[in-house]
């Protein structure tokens, strides 16, 4: 990855894409939002023209079919067909292609922590959907980078991140029930964005983007509560037992305790 990348980003207005764009700007680079009006998912020729127009040095595919347009088979179109088109175009232009996948490609039955050598086993729902995207990317471009992300931690409510979930649970139930036996794969959005830029500069392959090396969900929620003024009532439970930590020694991801010093108190 050059110091000042020209990054073409699908899903640039989304939870991850918007923070990734800010990280590109912080490096003096140029983030370019994919224009679906000019190149809708599934239109291979339009996609090729758009990439040729912008001549990016890296292509990030973070988009999800989160805002349905009514297109037939939209999930497949966005996650598989579009992914394959973009991966193939990136290969033709000899630029890095990064597809953002998810910890959910692993079922709750998979023993953790989760490392890139483990084979995904989820056969249903969102995790299977993202695994199909991974396979589409790799089939079209053996040099693709797959970045599996955990639950993102943002600055506040209003988007698809952990804080939003906690605020809603607190408002709906009056308390947040947090398991002491669940070690989630998670990271702060800003750290995820930096890791994605790092992934683009690394050799092709699968990477796990996670900042949690040892903390359970209850500990994380309590530390977030301290960070956000102690406005939530947090109740410990043992009702979900799972180790979903995403570990990868090749990435220099900032650990949660650096952002949440209350974890160490």
Which residue range forms the structural domain that includes residue 100? 6-152+187-209
Q: Are residues 48 and 13 in the same domain?
A: yes
Q: CB pairs under 8 A, 24+ apart, for 219-224?
A: 219/180, 219/263, 220/178, 220/184, 220/186, 220/256, 220/260, 220/263, 221/166, 221/176, 221/178, 222/178, 222/262, 223/256, 223/260, 223/261, 223/262, 223/263, 224/153, 224/162, 224/163, 224/166, 224/260
pLDDT of residue 75: 80
Q: What's the rounded mean pLDDT across residues 51-72? A: 86
Residue 157 CB burial class (10 angstroms; 0-12, 13-18, ≥19) = middle
Q: Are residues 205 and 231 in the same domain?
A: no
Within a domain: residue 179?
Answer: yes
Q: In the predicted model, is pLDDT for residue 155 greater than 90? A: no
Give the helix/strand (H/E) hosting 126: helix 125-140
pLDDT of residue 71: 72
pLDDT bracket for residue 69 (50, 70, 90): low
Q: Are residues 194 and 250 in the same domain?
A: no
Q: Are residues 63 and 140 in the same domain?
A: yes
pLDDT of residue 66: 63
pLDDT of residue 76: 86
Mean pLDDT for the chain? 94
- Separation between Cα atoms, residue 42 and residue 85, nearest integer Å: 8
Q: Are residues 194 and 238 in the same domain?
A: no
Q: Are residues 121 and 241 in the same domain?
A: no
Q: Are residues 142 and 225 in the same domain?
A: no
pLDDT digits 0-9 by tens, 71-109: 777 888 888 999 999 999 999 999 999 999 999 999 999
Q: Are residues 192 and 224 in the same domain?
A: no
pLDDT of residue 215: 98
Distance (Å) of CA 148 to CA 74, 195, 248, 252: 22, 11, 10, 15
pLDDT of residue 191: 98
Q: Are residues 22 and 148 in the same domain?
A: yes
In this structure, are residues 89 and 47 in contact, taking their beta carbons and an 8 Å threshold?
Answer: yes
Q: Are residues 193 and 249 in the same domain?
A: no
Q: What's the rounded mean pLDDT across residues 165-190? A: 97
pLDDT of residue 70: 66
In this structure, are residues 199 and 59 in contact, taking their beta carbons and an 8 Å threshold?
Answer: no
pLDDT of residue 78: 85
Within a domain: residue 34?
Answer: yes
Pick the closest to residue 153 from 161, 145, 164, 144 (CA basis): 161
């Amino acid at each position: 990855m050059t110091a000042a990348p020209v990054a073409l980003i699908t899903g640039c207005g989304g939870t991850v894409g918007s923070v990734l764009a800010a990280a590109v700007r912080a490096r003096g680079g140029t983030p370019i939002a994919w224009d679906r009006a000019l190149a809708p998912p599934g239109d291979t020729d339009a996609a090729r023209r758009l990439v040729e127009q912008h001549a990016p040095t890296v292509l990030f595919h973070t988009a999800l079919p989160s805002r349905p347009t009514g297109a037939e088979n939209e999930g497949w179109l966005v996650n598989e067909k579009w992914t394959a088109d973009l991966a193939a175009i990136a290969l033709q232009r000899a630029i890095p292609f990064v597809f953002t996948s998810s910890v959910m490609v692993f079922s709750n039955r998979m023993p953790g922590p989760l490392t890139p050598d483990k084979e995904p086993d989820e056969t249903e729902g969102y995790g299977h959907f993202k695994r199909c995207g991974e396979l589409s990317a790799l089939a079209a471009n053996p040099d693709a980078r797959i970045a599996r992300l955990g639950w993102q931690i943002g600055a506040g409510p209003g988007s698809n991140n952990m804080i939003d979930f906690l605020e809603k649970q607190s408002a709906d139930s009056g308390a947040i029930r947090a398991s002491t036996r669940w070690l989630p794969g998670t990271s702060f959005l800003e750290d995820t964005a930096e890791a994605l830029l790092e992934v683009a500069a690394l050799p092709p392959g699968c990477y796990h983007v996670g900042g949690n090396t040892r903390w359970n969900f209850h500990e994380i929620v309590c530390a977030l509560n301290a960070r956000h003024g102690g406005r939530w009532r947090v109740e410990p439970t043992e009702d979900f037992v799972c180790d979903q930590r995403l570990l990868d020694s090749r990435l220099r991801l900032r650990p949660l305790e650096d952002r949440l010093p209350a974890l160490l108190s």
